[in-house]
Structures are given as C-alpha cells and as structure tokens.
Amino acid sequence: MNILSVLSIFSRAKNIFIPMILLSVFINCDKTDKNINSIPTPDPGNIPDIAPVTCDFELNEAMLTSAGWIKVFEDNFDSDLSKWDVWTGGAFNNELQYYQASNIELEGGILSILAKKETVSGNTTPFDQTQKTFQFTSGRIECKTNVSANSSSPKVRILARIKLPAGNGLWPAFWCYGDPWPTQGEIDIIEARGQEPKKYQTNYFYGTSTDKNLVQGAEGFIEASEDLTACFHVYEMIWEQSKLTSILDGTVVEVKTSGGFIPQLFGKQERITINLAVGGWFFNNLDPATIQTGTMQVDWVKVFTSN
C-alpha cells in the first residue's frame, strides 16, 4: 500500500472473513482481438518505464492453460456474491467510508462498487460496535476461498479485469491478506488514487506478531501509457517463494524481490479482497471537501496455479 512505512504498521490491523484468489478473462467492447499472444516472461532487466496498455484488454485463457496453468477459482459476477463475504462497518487506515452491501451492484456480469457522499451511522469497524457517523459510503468484498503459494502449488497467479474509478480521494484496491494481520501476510496487487488515473502501486506486508509489520521499502509504482479509469484492464500478480511478479495487460511491469520477507509469505493463507475506500493515509493532506465520488467496476476474478 502506498502508506508511509511507519504508518503501514497499523494499516490492516484486524480483518475477519475468509480467503480467496483471482485471475483474468474477457470483455470486449469493440469486438477487436485484444488477446495476449504469448505468456509474459518475468525479466527484471526488461521492465518498461511506462507500461503499455490496451483499452478493454482480454486475457487469452487458453494460452495460460496450454502453458501449464490450472484454473482453481473463477467468478464472472453473473449471478450473485455467494463466493464472497460483504464487509459491513468502517475500516482502518483513517479511511472515511462506511462499507455496506447496498453500495455493491451486479448487472450484466459486472460487479460495481459505488462510493457515495451520504451521512450514515454504524459500527466503527466490524470488530468494534462503537457507533460512529460517516460522511461517505462504499463497498468491500472478501473471498470465501483462500489462496496460497506453497510446496504443492509453488506458483499462484491472481488476476482481475477492472475498470478503476476516477475521482479525487478515491482509493480502489485489489489485494489479499490473512489473519491475524500481518502474520499471514498481505499482498497488494493494485492500490490506486482516483486523481492519478495513469498510476497504481503494489506492496506487501509481513510480521511475526499481530499488528507489527516488518517489511520496509517494498512499494512498487507502476505508470501506464493510458488512463486506467477509461476502460477495463487486466491486473495480475504471480506469487512465488522468492518473488512477486506484476503483469498489466499481458506485460510484466514489476518483479518484486525487495523488502526482505517475500520467502516468509510462502505457505501462508490469504483471501482476495476488492474494495473502494475513500480518503485515508494513502493520501497527503486530503481535504474531505474536495473528494469526488465514483464507481469501481470488476468484470471477473480468477486464480491459476502452476508448478
């Protein structure tokens, strides 16, 4: 997450719900062929400074399976959220929103999370029933299926096809974590700021004690060639014992080995999480009066494993 390292210690404090994993598939507005033509190779020496992207990119899933990847999870959001837990209450990180089910919509195979400016009262967090007044509402879901890179499945590929929201102060995220935080680790596949439509951040956390992060300097910053809020893009993370590889629209954009604790994540159990936060420590000196609301859309989430 893009939080000062000193603040990251407090970032995910407590979380409850159940684990999962993601991957990517398809949606094509203009019906042109936008499939990847080859499996991207993680090469730290060949990372582009500016990531090339394709509007409404589609994953060639057949190519993945032919390369030995096995799909173990998929949700195309065609019917319901039975594979997910819905968060109800406030959250952490000094965020301003109250999460509730009514801000989550399913229509036409698309999951939409709507951030709204409205005054509501509710639990400070799902774990603290102290009542609090919130000026914004939004949505957060957590997968009921855990994901783990381990000796049986040493490579886990988590993907989602997402249209990021535009709007000052919006904080969309696609990530996974386990409890108690950060002893099971946290892997941030995407964290973006709504006012920076061509950028997003990756990160991870780990600690041996509850609420004490040991990872330092692991943030990664991805800059894209086009506006990521204008259409759908496919975001991937390959989790292995010694590295985390980020892929955007079929291009490897980062190979993360820094931070000192990636090997400690191996074998941990984490659940995939998708949310749209409003405000928080991810922003510097944010004036709540300048916040703009918006909608995060997700076409699908998939997870593949490989040896």
CATH number of the domain encompassing residue 58: 2.60.120.200
Range(s) of the domain holding residue 57 = 5-38+46-306
- 284's tokens: 């510097």
Contact 248, 77 (CB under 8 A): no
pLDDT value at residue 46: 85
What percentage of the chain's residues is helix, strand, coil (to nearest 5)? Answer: 5, 40, 50
Contact 138, 291 (CB under 8 A): no
Over residues 50-61, the pLDDT tens digits come to 999 999 999 999
Instruction: Give the pLDDT score at 41.
Output: 61
* Tokens found for residue 148: 């783990």
pLDDT tens string 54-80:
999 999 999 999 999 999 999 999 999
Residue 119 CB contacts under 8 Å (≥ 6 apart), including other chains: 133, 134, 135
Radius of gyration of the chain (CA): 18
> Exposed e or buried b for every residue in 126-138, given b needs 16+ CB within 10 A?
beeeeeeebbbbb
Burial class from Cβ neighbours inside 10 Å (0-12, 13-18, 19+) for residue 48 reads middle
Span 83-125, pLDDT tens digits? 999 999 999 999 999 999 999 999 999 999 999 999 999 999 9
Using alpha carbons, select from 8, 272, 237 the residue that is nearest to residue 145.
272
What are the helix (H) ranges across the chain? 5-8, 61-66, 262-265
Alpha carbon distance 81, 91 (integer Å) = 21
Tens digit of pLDDT for each residue in 190-247? 999 999 999 999 999 999 999 999 999 999 999 999 999 999 999 999 999 999 999 9
Beta carbons within 10 angstroms of residue 186's beta carbon: 26
Is it the case that residue 266 has pLDDT exceeding 50?
yes
* pLDDT tens, position by position, 10-46: 344 434 333 333 333 333 333 334 444 456 666 667 8
Task: Give me the long-range contacts of 265-269 (CB less than 8 A, separation at least 24).
Answer: 265/149, 265/185, 265/187, 265/204, 265/206, 265/239, 266/149, 266/150, 266/241, 267/148, 267/149, 267/150, 267/151, 268/148, 268/178, 268/184, 268/185, 269/19, 269/146, 269/147, 269/148, 269/178, 269/184
**DSSP sequence for 108-136:** TTEEEEE-EEEEEEEEEETTEEEEEEEEE
Tokens 């000062």, located at residue: 4
133: left (phi over 0), alpha (psi -120 to 50) or beta: beta
Number of domains the chain contains: 1
State residue 216 phi and psi, 5-degree precision: -130, 140
